[in-house]
Amino acid sequence: MAQSVLHRAETRGHANHGWLNSYHTFSFAGYHDPERMHFGVLRVLNDDTVAGGIGFNKHPHDNMEIISIPLSGDLEHQDTTGRQAIIRQGDVQVMSAGTGLAHSEKNHNRDKEVKFLQIWVFPKERNVAPRYAQESFLAEDRHNKFQQVLSPSPDDAGVWIHQDAWFHLADMDAGVSLEYALKLAGNGVYAFVLEGDVTINGQELHRRDGFGLWEVDKLDIEATAMARLLLMEVPMLG
């Protein structure tokens, strides 16, 4: 029997620090809701806007897969593996924190904001060696179709993480329908609407709504207006 959870955009946690305006789909920092701790192994989904020239000072992580997806602007990254990089709209960055690393992120530009998704996924294996990767993706490869941007395998499309998870992006024209078949039995899918309006398995969704489904084999998705969608297929806990 299909199970689902709906998180409307306006029900998310919110923290505005001036330099950082952040919306939290799941409990994070000062926002705590025992009903919204995670979706399966998906632990954090933050929708962040950072003012020009400012950012997060160096801070530690361990035993977490951390994915950053810029939506506009440029994000500057440094970490204790010695990596320095700029990630831009169209890029996806992943860090396996594993045994531990520290990193900093800031807006690369002083004259405009950077908007990005910060996503944390519990790893399948603890205490792996820390690693970093990023990849650029073409917008035309997700026009009215799914573009895989993350998987469990370095031999598959997109970046990879230490978890049986697959992420896909799609930019859909109004009236277009797509079907997403789950990759692994027992997984669930958390859909996050970046822009526009869609209907997924009969549920109407709008900008920044989140909708998680499990005990399903597939998702039937229709764009009721031009839409951009992120699908995160992840193992369910328990």
Q: How confident is the model at residue 238 (pLDDT cuts 50, 70, 90)?
A: low
Which residue has 């299909």 as its token pair?
2
Give the mean model confidence (pLDDT) for residues 185-213. 98
Residues spanned by the domain of 227: 139-235
**Residue 5 included in any domain:** no
Q: pLDDT confidence of 69, banded at 50, 70, 90?
A: very high
Domain count, the chain: 2
State residue 151's pLDDT score: 98
Question: What does the pLDDT read at residue 105?
Answer: 87
**68 shares its domain with 103:** yes
Looking at 47-51, 71-75, 234-238, which range is the least confident one?
234-238
- Per-residue pLDDT band for 22 (boundaries 50, 70, 90) equals very high
Query: pLDDT tens digits for 158-177?
Result: 999 999 999 999 999 999 99
Distance, in Å, from the CA atom of 136 to the CA atom of 172, rounded to the nearest integer, reads: 20
Do 111 and 73 belong together in one domain? yes
DSSP conformational letter for 17? -
HSE, CB side, 13 Å, CA atoms: give it for residue 30.
Answer: 6
- Whether 76 shows a pLDDT value over 70: the answer reads yes
Q: Does 186 or 61 have the greater pLDDT score?
A: 186
Distance CA(115)–CA(51), nearest Å, equals 9
Report the percent of the chain where pLDDT is more than 90.
84
Residue 31 domain-assigned (yes or no): yes
CATH at 174: 2.60.120.10
Is 130 contained in some domain?
A: yes
The DSSP-derived string for 100-154 is: -EEEEEEES-SSS-EEEEEEEE--SSSSPPPEEEEEE--GGGGBTS-EEEEES-T
Asked if the structure places residue 7 within a domain, the reply is no
pLDDT digits (tens, 9 = 90+) for 77-128: 887 777 788 999 999 999 998 998 888 888 899 999 999 999 999 999 999 9
Last residue of a domain, one of 136, 155, 181: 136
Is 178 a residue whose pLDDT tops 90? yes
What percentage of the chain exceeds 70 in pLDDT?
Answer: 100
* Domain-terminating residue out of 80, 102, 136: 136
One domain, residues 71 and 156: no
Instruction: Say yes or no: 212 and 103 in one domain.
Output: no
Confidence of residue 42 (pLDDT cuts 50, 70, 90): very high
Structure tokens at 19: 């330099």
- For residue 161, what are its two tokens? 């993480």
User: Do 69 and 116 belong to one domain?
Assistant: yes
- Closest C-alpha among 205, 128, 185, 196 to residue 160: 128
Q: Which residue did the predictor score with more confidence, 237 or 93? A: 93
**Does 125 share its domain with 158?**
no
